Amino acid sequence: MSGRTTIRRTAAVVGGAGIIAGLAALVAFRSGASNNVVIVAASFAPLLLAVTLVGAIVTAASRQWILLGISVSVMALGAWAFGPLWVGGASNDGPQPQGPSLRVMQSNIMIGSADPAALVREVRDRGVDVLTLQELTEESVQAFEAAGLDEILPHTFLEPRSGGNGAGIYSRLPLSNGRMVDGMALTNLMVELDAGLARPVVLYDVHPVPAYIAPAADWTEDFERLRDSMDSAAAQDNVIVSGDFNATYAHRKFRDLRHSGYVDAADQLGAGILPTYPTDKRYPAIVGIDHILTKGAQATSIERIDVVGSDHHGLIADVQLSTDQNGGGSSPQ
């Protein structure tokens, strides 16, 4: 066998593998199956499509035009699936909100491991109004208090737990009617926030179970319960859903949460894929599972930030609130 034949056969294998990887990504993107393999494949769908791109380059270099054509077709379908993430305002319908603005920070603190002084410094320096935390522990509550978080964000609804099951909301503005989302495996919170409008802002702090640890059926059930709750809350003028969703844009169950008019801030702003996990490895974060969604209100900016001591990046979004249907409402002081 000549060297040229070996190269062509090797290129064909690489190209074929790229096509298979891309097709797996597209199937996972479209599928709503409750299956751990499909859920994990969807998590890595952009990376699988990157394998298709590598295969396309190799087949082009070896002039294998049929494989190249198939690879390009698969990549075109991938661009159709993920392209809206890079188109600012693509999911924005209706008039722009004219109410006050809130700065929302989202952070999974890795079972209380995040550095409290560093996190409090981020909150203070960036002028955060609302902070949603997952994996909050009793010890981390005490550490945040010692670091001065309560002085900056004095209104709280906290449900600390051991083993990554806790959650908490810190706010500059008054909170009321705090409760947990019924039936979810981990602690998921809802609260009403007084932003000076006639009707309160409904704020969620969410954390569905991770499918790579829990059974896929539990992950699916969590998303169905969360969707039911969000659908009920959508009657309100302003809803903000912030948290570690343990799901990416590629997961159909996550995209289904937009059923009642919710918009992912990254999608709204054309920010593309914002990988937030993991950050405690030698390689960069590769999956975007932290999100801030809004309904009625709209995100006007979003930024990924480092959270010292955690295995997640945090997110900070500026959210413009809509004025209520009864009109009026003063800006928060």
Q: Are residues 21 and 62 in the same domain?
A: yes
What is the total count of domains within the chain?
Answer: 2
Q: Is residue 325 part of a domain?
A: no
What pLDDT sits at residue 212?
80
Q: Are residues 36 and 115 in the same domain?
A: no
Q: Is residue 332 part of a domain?
A: no
What pLDDT sits at residue 326?
44
Q: Is residue 8 part of a domain?
A: yes
> At 32, phi and psi to the nearest 5?
-110, 20
What pLDDT sits at residue 333?
35
Q: Are residues 140 and 77 in the same domain?
A: no
Q: Are residues 252 and 119 in the same domain?
A: yes
Q: In terms of residue numbers, what domain contains 234?
A: 101-320
Q: Is residue 333 part of a domain?
A: no
Q: Is residue 93 part of a domain?
A: no
Query: Which amino acid makes up residue 178?
Result: G
289 neighbors 246 (Cβ within 8 angstroms): yes
Q: Are residues 105 and 82 in the same domain?
A: no
Q: Are residues 130 and 163 in the same domain?
A: yes
CA distance 208 to 301: 25
Q: Is the dihedral of CA 179, 181, 183, 188 positive or negative?
A: negative
Q: Are residues 82 and 107 in the same domain?
A: no
pTM over 0.75, yes/no: yes
What pLDDT sits at residue 324?
65
What pLDDT sits at residue 98?
84
Helix axes 45-61, 3-30, angle to 10 degrees: 150
pLDDT tens across the length of the chain (333 residues): 566 778 788 889 999 999 999 999 999 999 877 788 899 999 999 999 999 999 999 999 999 999 999 999 999 999 999 998 988 775 566 678 889 999 999 999 999 999 999 999 999 999 999 999 999 999 999 999 999 999 999 999 999 999 889 999 999 999 999 999 999 999 999 999 999 999 999 999 999 999 888 889 999 999 999 999 999 999 999 999 999 999 999 999 999 999 899 999 999 999 999 999 999 999 999 999 999 999 999 999 999 999 999 999 999 999 999 986 544 443 333
Q: Is residue 329 part of a domain?
A: no
Q: Are residues 80 and 106 in the same domain?
A: no
Q: Is residue 114 part of a domain?
A: yes
Q: Are residues 239 and 276 in the same domain?
A: yes
- Written as six digits, the tokens of 60 are 């082009």
> At 277, phi and psi to the nearest 5?
-150, 145
Q: Are residues 157 and 82 in the same domain?
A: no
What pLDDT sits at residue 144?
98
Q: Are residues 144 and 281 in the same domain?
A: yes
